[in-house]
Structure formats: structure tokens, C-alpha cells
Amino acid sequence: MDFDLVVRNGTVVTASDIWESCDIGIKDGTIVAVGPHLPATAGAQEIDAEGAFITPGGVDSHVHLSQAGILIHNANIDGVDRSTFTNGVIPDRENYVADTYDTGTRSAVAGGTTTVVTFACQLKKDESIIPVIENYHKLAKDQSYCDYAFHVIITNPTPQIVEEEFPRMVDEYGITSVKLYMTYKPMRLHDYQVLDVMYSARKLGITTMVHAENADIIDWMTQHLEAKLMTQPYHHGTSRPPIVEAEATNRVICLAELMDTPILLVHISSANAAKHIRDAQTRLLPVYGETCPQYMFLLADSMRKGDFEGAKCVCSPPIREDKSDQDAIWAGIKNGTFNIVSSDHAPSKYDHPNGKKLGLQHGNLPHGKFRFIPNGLPGVETRVPLLFSGGVLSGRISPQKFVEVTSTNPAKLYGLKKKGCIGPGFDADLVIWYPQATFQPFNLTNEMLHHAIDYTPFEGIEFKNWPRYTIIRGKVVFSHGEVVGEMGYGQFIRREKSLLPGPRDVWLSEWRP
């Protein structure tokens, strides 16, 4: 057999199995052989894994890059001039306080992620999603270190969009999932609109991702907390107790059951929301769950420190205060409620007038006002190492479960057919870890990371391993702490339909779509 690259002597992990002393043969960017003692081929590059774990490259299916929507999540940020935003995009790159395709995907490969699925975000005034998709293509093309695909965020589902443009989105653009928001004034849909999206999604066989929080509770609580001057970053969480997520999760599961269409609840943070998802799955509804490392490794108590420092951990849903919620997230990963662990990488710089500090500038209070703090955290680089170190190496999840939730399931749910597994015919996207015996554990600092953000919420956490090599389609893109890949190597991936179960043809009334 003829190889371009042979990786030798690894402990190869898939979502179902582990093979020790195993080699991987790669030809033209594709895995062509997996097994012991593959033959040497003249001219082939060889990498000795020295017995270390080899896992499929991370697939991060929830990443926000170059997204105008990030700056306008908060309804009342008047420091940002939105009049120039159109077709999903901020024209003025100076305005970015987040990650673009170059910095975000550089960060991804340095943390073992080989594919990101990012968002092309419709703004409410965008009458068509086609130029939105085209614009995000321009932002990503020749800018990406890793492979990438798009979801479309729908904020205004007009009949033209759901009836005429959704089929084009699938057929012409290879985009087979949409995300919708039940909260954030500039983005939220009402239940009627959610049904409009689901109706079309069902016909086309695409998956609907839902950000489930009750918008009116959040608005009401925010108003009433401000009256009591309870506005410091920590109280972002006070305004959104777990019931806010649980109610919306249950509601949207009902809408999806009515429509008999698959949904994925994104970034779930709390026990009761997880229970609603679990119950739906027990009834065999095609309901999928996603959670993120921030809900597995952080608790809200740390946000009480400092007057405004807590803003670094402001995201929605919020990081929870009760350990019981965190425990429920870990249990949900083990029992299969959560099919996917993504990063929800949606960062803003902290020390920047258009970043997290908007909450100080517009607060007129020494500790600021949480309603003006842009929501979201950086995490595309830390997701895979956190789950490997704090999950696998800490004995909380098996190596196979790690592979399943960080790579295999996101690839299957989103129709990335050649991603997410180490086997013949799959893209040669690999993470080679350090041999455990030789690795010196370290405590993370932001300087070690490759994003364009001035902090990490995971500062100080101990890592018991880190990717030694990241390989994409047979090419080493990260090696011993250095990004060695090139911007522009990453390719756009047209997606197929989901490989996980979809509609069941079970109905709640005589109505049929």
C-alpha cells in the first residue's frame, strides 16, 4: 500500500473502540488504512505517536466568527452604530472586538479542532438570506486555518425566505441546519414564527437549532433588578434563573413535537432543561441536546469577584450558581442526553470600549449594568483539551464518550460525512496527544492561547495534556505548541442531511403538513 503519511504506534480512539499499538495510513488527505504494523512506503512522512492517544479532529459545531449579530445581541447597546450593518455583516472591521475567521480558526487548530461550523447571521432588516450567506463566504474564504461549514441564523422568517430561499440554502449552498433564538430583542422569534421555520425545515429534512430562554421573563427581571440597583455582572445570572431556560426548552420541544421535526437545544446549562430533553428522548422524539465546557467547569460564584471582572463570564444562558446544575450536565453527557459538546465560542474583548466594557460605559454606575455587556465567551481552543483533561484523564468520561461528543456526533448530526471518525474513507483529521508519562501538567494562562481575545474564562485551570499535533486532511497544522498550518488551507464543506434519526410521522391531531 502506498501512503503519503503514516502515524505509528498510537492508542487510536473512535466513538466505539480503542486500539492500542495502532498505525494510521494516509493517502491524498484521506485515511486509507488503520491497523498494526502498516508497511513502510518510500517517501512517506512518518510520525511516531509513542503510544499516545490519537483521537479524531474536533468538530466544533457552534462557533461565532466575524458575526455582526454578536455586537447587537443586547438590545440597548447604543454605542454601536447599527445603521451600517447589512446582510449580516459589519462593514467596518475596526468594529470587531471578537474573533474573525483567521484568528478564530488559528485558535481552533491550536486546541485540536479541525472543523468549525460557524453562523451566517441574518439581521432582522435583511430581506434575503442569500446575500448574507454570500457575505460570510467572503469573510471566510482564504482566511481559515481549518475546515468550515455554515449554519444560518434566522431572525426574520418571511414567507420568501422559508419557502423559496430555504430550498436554495440546502441545494445550492449545502447548508442543512438553521438556528433560531427565543430571546434577544434583535434576534428573537415568536412561537408563530418558530412554527413557520419548523414547517419548512421539516419539508427539507434540516435540523433546527434553538436558543431556548424566555425573553419576557428576562426583560421583566432586568427592569426590576435595575430598580434595585442590582446591576453588577453577577446579576446577569439573577435575571435568568434556570426556570427561564427550562420553560423555553419545554415550549420549543412542544412546538417541534407538533411539527414532527428534529431540533437541537443549544448550550444547555441546567438540570431541569436537561430533564425536559431527556423526557422527550425517552418518548423517542428527535430532540437533541448540546452543552458547553463553561457549564461543566465553571460556577457563577467566581463572578462575584471584583466590581466588573465578572463580565468576563457573562454569557447566555448564564453560568449557574448551583453545583447540582453542573452535576446534571455531566450526568447528561454520560447518559446520552447531550449528544454534542460545543464551545459556543462567542467572545468579546474585555478591556475594550466596544467589548465587555460596554457594560461599564453605558451603566453610569461604578459596577456597570449587566444589560449592556455583550454576551458570550471565548472557548474554541480550550474545548477539546478541557474535555480530554478534565473529562477523560480525570476519570469522568471514557475516551470513546469524549470522541462521540466532541467529534463524531456533531459530524453525524450536521451531515459532515467525511468527518468525525478514524476509519478508512474519512478525512485524515487527527489529534495526537502527548504520551501521558512525559507530560508536565500546567495551569492555563491567556498568553498560551491563539485567539484575538484579551482573557480566557478558564484561566488557571490545570491541563493534564494538550494536543501535540493537529492534522487536517493529512497535513500537520499544529505541532508542539506552534501553529504551522496556513491561513486559507481550510476548505468550505457542503453538508449533507443529518445521519441521526429525523421525523417519525407521529402526529398530535388530524393536521398534516
315: partner contacted, choices ligand URP, Zn ion, none (Cβ within 5-8 A by kind) = ligand URP
Residue 504, interface with Zn ion (CB under 5 A)?
A: no
> Are the beta carbons of 312 and 375 closer than 8 angstroms?
no
147: partner contacted, choices Zn ion, ligand URP, none (Cβ within 5-8 A by kind) = none
For residue 428, give the C-alpha cell: 485524515
> Cβ 493 to ligand URP, closest distance in Å?
21
> Cβ 23 to Zn ion, closest distance in Å?
6
Closest CA to 156 of 176, 133, 185: 185
> Cβ 433 to Zn ion, closest distance in Å?
18
- The helix or strand, by DSSP H or E, that contains position 208, with its residue range, turns out to be strand 207-211
Q: Which is nearer to ligand URP, 414 or 433 (CB)?
A: 414
> Cβ 439 to ligand URP, closest distance in Å?
32
* Site residues (CB under 5 A) for Zn ion, limited to 197-256: 211
Q: Which is nearer to Zn ion, 348 or 389 (CB)?
A: 348
Closest CA to 236 of 356, 346, 370: 370
Three-state SS for 315? coil
37: partner contacted, choices Zn ion, ligand URP, none (Cβ within 5-8 A by kind) = Zn ion
Q: Which of 270, 375, 408, 465 binds ligand URP (CB under 6 A)?
A: 375
What DSSP letter does each residue of 37-65 carry, written as one string? SPPP-TT-EEEE-TT-EEEEPEEEEEE--
* Site residues (CB under 6 A) for ligand URP, limited to 203-222: 211
> Are the beta carbons of 377 and 350 closer than 8 angstroms?
no
Binding flags for Zn ion, 27-46, as an x/- string (CB under 5 A): ----------x---------
Closest CA to 188 of 91, 316, 90, 291: 316
Closest CB to Zn ion: residue number = 211
Q: What backbone phi and psi angles, to 5 degrees, belong to 399?
A: -55, -35
- The helix or strand, by DSSP H or E, that contains position 153, with its residue range, turns out to be strand 147-153
> Are the beta carbons of 38 and 4 closer than 8 angstroms?
no
Q: Which is nearer to ligand URP, 270 or 316 (CB)?
A: 316
- Cell numbers 449545502 correspond to 174
- In this structure, how many other beta carbons lie within 10 angstroms of the beta carbon of residue 312? 26
Q: Which is nearer to ligand URP, 376 or 385 (CB)?
A: 376
Residue 339, interface with ligand URP (CB under 6 A)?
A: no
Give CA–CA dist 109/231, Å, rounded. 37
Residue 23, interface with ligand URP (CB under 6 A)?
A: no
Q: Which is nearer to Zn ion, 318 or 363 (CB)?
A: 318
375: partner contacted, choices ligand URP, Zn ion, none (Cβ within 5-8 A by kind) = ligand URP
Residues in the interface with ligand URP (CB under 6 A) total 9
Closest CA to 7 of 22, 28, 27: 22
Residue range at the interface with Zn ion (CB under 5 A); choices 10-18, 44-52, 344-352, 488-496: 344-352
Q: Interface with ligand URP by CB under 6 A: which residues? A: 64, 211, 267, 315-316, 344, 346, 375-376
